[in-house]
Amino acid sequence: MDVHREILDSSAGAVCVDARFLTKAVLSLKLDVVPGEGMLECDGSSILFHSKTLESMYREDPNLVTRAIAHCALHCILGHSTPNDECSPRGIAEDMAVEYILDSLGTPHLSLPDGPERIYSFERLVSMAGSPSVDRIAEAIAQESQWKLSMYTRLFNRDHHASRTGNDDRWKEISKQALTEIEGFSEMPAGRTDTFMRLLRIRNRRRHDYRDFLRRFVSKSSLPKEDPDTFDPIYYTLGLQRYGNIPLVDSSEMTDNRSIDEFVIALDTSGSVMKGPMTRFLEESLDAVRQCLPDGRARIHVIQCDTMVRSDTLITGAGDIASLSERFEIDGGGGTDFRPAFDYVDSLIEEGRLKHLKGMMYFTDGLGTFPEKRPGYDVAFVFCDDGSTEHPIPPWAMKIELVPEDLGPETIR
Ligand SMILES: [Zn+2]
């Protein structure tokens, strides 16, 4: 048997032994060899090695070959499918993420010298960037000196990133499987598994057209609420994503429900929330609500709440929307508790100030205390953060997860 083939097959086998969750990914990549020297590259369907370089890698340390295969497989799993320059901040950030995971595994066939140095460099950048998201890490790297960039390339790079095709479809499913498998993989120290999970969650985040979600939510606001056991918000949002798969809305329902005239937009104004995304969310939501509600009959309460209700602004028409967006200031700064806003809305209902409330959207960036009981109206929690955090919600609520980029550029006034 051809010696190169033998090296590659045994190395691929060693990757699967060390990291079972990579098996499907490794089997999905063809391993090819061309004569000569050069850096290996992966286009998403195969990894291309150069014979001379492969031989010298193997002679130096067989783990260099297993590591290279795992490196490319992880790029694919994490959705690093867009061609880039591996020496650019983006390319370095992608290399750092995959190398960090492989160093964290600490398994016999994937270990290489300088692991602690790589782990330190990546963790330092994660704490600077506040997130392991490749986008955020790349931004942090772009601030660093050229010297640091060269050091990162030397430490983290194993492959060319230029021949990627940008086609990622077949990897999405493999990535979801890896996420499930890694949950049962306990070899990594807890903190590092967490980083890997966060990276996989970012990768597998359901992307929403949330403007469409807003329009549908406001127009319909009548969701399957009879049986909480069968109402799976994940399935619901998945259905939203693949329009038409779920009996959420059809054109006749859109028209029928135009009589809904009361709506609540609650804003979590706790200390951690960023003003930019919140303002943009508010503008978009008001716009969607206004488009769906009959003119002159809309009553939209914009409630600001951290651990207590700070303000309630009633919007009844386009003029109110314009003046609210002009004057909007965040009022809050404390912790997060969702209950006061729900209690407050209940009191408005009791007092008869809200008569036909059908829906509430609660914009937040994180964890808070939920009410125990299902309210008498539909609720969607809208989360906005870097996409790496899991957001548990009560079974009666819906969830939409956004990153600030989803909200588009800030309006300049
Ligand atoms: Zn790479």
What percent of the chain has pLDDT above 70? 83
Is 182:197 a contact under the CB 8 Å cutoff? yes
Q: What is the reported pLDDT for 239?
A: 37
Is pLDDT above 90 for 328? no
Q: What is the reported pLDDT for 409?
A: 61
User: Could you tell me the distance, in angstroms and rounded to a whole number, from the CA of residue 85 to the centre of ligand 1?
Assistant: 10
Q: What is the reported pLDDT for 57?
A: 97
User: Could you tell me the distance, in angstroms and rounded to a whole number, from the CA of residue 247 to the centre of ligand 1?
Assistant: 43
Segment 127-132 mean pLDDT: 86
User: Could you tell me the distance, in angstroms and rounded to a whole number, from the CA of residue 136 to the centre of ligand 1?
Assistant: 17
Is 356:262 a contact under the CB 8 Å cutoff? yes
What does the pLDDT look like over 274-285, one tens digit per residue?
A: 778 888 888 888
d(CA 104, CA 196): 9
Q: What is the reported pLDDT for 185?
A: 60
Q: What is the reported pLDDT for 190?
A: 62
Q: What is the reported pLDDT for 183?
A: 67
Residue 378, strand partner residues: 359
Q: Is 214 helix (H, G, I), strand (E, B) or coil?
A: helix
User: Could you tell me the distance, in angstroms and rounded to a whole number, from the CA of residue 3 to the centre of ligand 1?
Assistant: 25
d(CA 117, CA 123): 10
Q: What is the pTM of this model?
A: 0.65
Q: What is the reported pLDDT for 188?
A: 61
User: Could you tell me the distance, in angstroms and rounded to a whole number, from the CA of residue 130 to the centre of ligand 1?
Assistant: 22
Most confident option among 5-14, 235-244, 285-294: 5-14
Q: What is the reported pLDDT for 176?
A: 86
> What is 107-135 written as a DSSP string?
-TTT--TTHHHHHHHHHHHHHHHTS--HH
Is 285:349 a contact under the CB 8 Å cutoff? no
CATH of 210-216+258-406, one of 3.20.10.10, 3.40.50.410, 3.40.50.300, 3.40.50.970: 3.40.50.410
Q: Is 262 helix (H, G, I), strand (E, B) or coil?
A: strand
User: Could you tell me the distance, in angstroms and rounded to a whole number, from the CA of residue 55 to the centre of ligand 1?
Assistant: 20
User: Could you tell me the distance, in angstroms and rounded to a whole number, from the CA of residue 52 to the centre of ligand 1?
Assistant: 20
User: Could you tell me the distance, in angstroms and rounded to a whole number, from the CA of residue 248 to the centre of ligand 1?
Assistant: 42
d(CA 301, CA 368): 21
> What is 166-207 written as a DSSP string?
S--HHHHHHHHHHHHHHTT---S-HHHHHHHHHHHHHHHPPP
What does the pLDDT look like over 165-215, one tens digit per residue?
A: 998 889 999 998 887 777 666 556 666 677 887 888 777 776 666 777 777
| Burial of residue 112, with CB atoms counted within 10 A of its CB: 0-12 exposed, 13-18 middle, 19 or more buried | middle
Segment 226-240 mean pLDDT: 40
Q: What is the reported pLDDT for 65?
A: 97
**H-type alpha helices, 40-133:** 51-60, 62-77, 89-105, 115-129
d(CA 8, CA 49): 9
Q: Which residue has the tokens 């999970």?
A: 197
Segment 275-304 mean pLDDT: 78
Q: What is the mean pLDDT of the chain?
A: 82
Q: How many CA atoms lie within 13 A of 334 on its CB side?
A: 13
**H-type alpha helices, 205-274:** 210-220, 233-241, 251-256
User: Could you tell me the distance, in angstroms and rounded to a whole number, from the CA of residue 185 to the centre of ligand 1?
Assistant: 23
Residue extents of the structural domains in the chain: 3-204, 210-216+258-406, 224-256
pLDDT band per the 50, 70, 90 thresholds, residue 289 = confident
Is pLDDT above 50 for 138? yes
